[in-house]
Amino acid sequence: MDVMPKWAEVVLVPLISLVLAFLISALVILGIGENPVNAIRVMVSGALGSAYGWGFTLYYATNFIFTGLAVAVAFHARLFNIGGEGQALIGGLGVAFVCLYIPWPHWSLALLGATAGAAIFGAIWAAIPAWLQAKRGSHIVITTIMFNYIAAALLSYMLTEQIKAPGSDPASAFFPDATNLPTFYDMFSWTGLGFSEFTPANVSFLIALLACLFVWVLIWRTKLGYEIRAFGHSEPAAKYAGISPTKIIMVTMIISGALAGMMAINNVMGEAERLNLNAAEGAGFIGIAVALMGRSHPIGVFMAALLFGFLYQGGAELAFSTSIPSQLIIVIQALVILFTGALDNMVRMPLERIFLTLRRPPKPETKLEAAE
């Protein structure tokens, strides 16, 4: 079984897959008549070259940590939650209700309330497909995709008919000042890191880090996490061990949906400070790439989210200063999903062969030594 050492499996395979994905992305940039080296330069300077860029990179990374963890938790039970986008949209609705209709005295309390609201709304949106999968046998992949479309329609209805603010855009009113979260500008002005007043990265980045810790504890340090993993490895074995499939599917998807929904405290409450259409901006889908690249481990998800935060901000800079549309990020995301999630054996098989040939020669010697 273990042909390769663990470090190669955990670091080398994803890294080579990633390099392949980026090489092909570079070819795509060449193909549409742009210069990939120049593109990388624009992306790096735009995303990492200044405190301004870092503010955006970390803001996007916060979104992707939440959605990446959501997909990762579901992956552990071998459930494929493609509904992160819809869950994040509905989570935004939860945040909007909490912030608009409850008079909060201080942002810290509002943050707790909004986190709960986002998590509950996201969880409900994931619980319906979960129930349909567990009880009615509907395929969770198809139902979660359908729920993305339904969420978009529901949000559009709410924002044009129910909680629309006066004015032309389909958006809610701005949330009261007491609910506005401190941004990195407010938090780090004393350090001289130079975050500007318009930095979107905010205190929810810390909540995202806590969420990483929570997922690690949940999956590897609790009985429930053990049951989730057991169910993911083998459903019949888990059933035989007395684990209820219905319970695991429901609980896993509720946690997954809650995590995806919690993204809304970053983008809706922390950044936009009101709810608008397309609030999730595809972050729910990027969560799939993030979870695959991070191999469903919170540390991996965190690092992959940083990478995608960089790509997203860099891609926005690219669209701004060159003629490369921001859809480039979707292509890169697709290639990362393809190479790390579906073509991983293409990288693994040759690597295994290399490790086998490297390992073979010393073996007879050790045997001889043992015989002596």
Partner 1 sequence: MDFLTLLQVLDSTVRLATPLLLACLAGLFSERAGIFDIGLEGKMLAAAFLSAAIAFVTESAWIGLLAGIGASMVLAGIHGLASITFRGNQLISGVAINFLAAGMTVLVAQSWFSQGGRTPSLMSGGRFEPVTLPFAEALSGVPVLGPIYTELLSGHTVLVYLAFAMVPLTWWILFRTRFGLRLRAVGENPAAVDTAGVSVVGLRFAAVAICGVLCGIAGAYMATALQAGFVKDMTAGRGYIALAALIFAKWRPWYALGATLLFGFLQAIALRPDVIEAVLSFRVQVQLLDALPYILTVVILAGFVGKAVPPRAGGEPYVKER
Residues that bind partner 1 (CB under 8 A): 28, 31-33, 80, 82, 132, 136-139, 141-143, 145-147, 149-150, 153-154, 156-157, 160-161, 285, 288, 292, 323-325, 327-335, 337-338, 341-346, 349
Are the beta carbons of 281 and 330 closer than 8 angstroms?
no
How many whole angstroms separate alpha carbon 104 and alpha carbon 197?
23
CA distance 282 to 40: 22
Amino acid making up residue 30:
L
* Least Cβ distance, residue 28 to partner 1 (angstroms): 7
CB of 189 to partner 1, least distance (A): 38
C-alpha triplet 133, 135, 136: angle, nearest 5°: 70
C-beta closer to partner 1: residue 28 or 218: 28
What are the tokens at 13?
A: 């395979």
Q: Which residue has the tokens 């963890």?
A: 69
How far is the C-alpha of 310 from the C-alpha of 304, rounded, in Å?
10
Nearest residue to 75 (alpha-carbon basis) of 198, 232, 180, 207: 232
**Nearest distance, CB of residue 25 and partner 1, angstroms:** 10
For the bound state, the minimum distance from the C-beta of residue 371 to partner 1, rounded and expressed in Å, comes to: 30
Give the shortest CB-287-to-partner 1 separation in angstroms.
Answer: 12
Q: Shortest gap between Cβ of 329 and partner 1 (angstroms)? A: 8
- The smaller minimum CB distance to partner 1, of residues 153 and 213, is found at 153
Q: Which is nearer to partner 1, 251 or 328 (CB)?
A: 328
CA dihedral 8, 13, 16, 18 (to 10 degrees): -130
CB of 109 to partner 1, least distance (A): 33
Tokens standing for residue 226: 């053990």
C-beta of 60 vs 285, nearer to partner 1: 285
In terms of residues, how long is the chain?
Answer: 372
Q: Measured from the CB atom, is 151 or 269 closer to partner 1?
A: 151
CB 131 within 8 Å of CB 206: no
DSSP lists the bridge partners of residue 202 as: 183
Rank residues 273 and 352 by Cβ distance to partner 1 and give the closer one.
352
Residue 223 makes CB contacts below 8 A (sequence gap 6+) with none
Q: How far is the CB of 85 from partner 1 (least distance, A)?
A: 12
Which residue number, 192 or 236, has a Cβ lying nearer to partner 1? 236
Q: How far is the CB of 117 from partner 1 (least distance, A)?
A: 22
How is residue 201 written in tokens? 């990265």
Number of Cα atoms under 13 Å in the Cβ half of residue 45: 7
CA atoms of 106 and 102, how far apart (whole Å): 11
> Which residue lies nearer to partner 1 by CB, 186 or 344?
344
CA distance 314 to 361: 47
Q: Which amino acid is at 28?
A: V
Closer to partner 1 by CB, 32 or 356: give it: 32
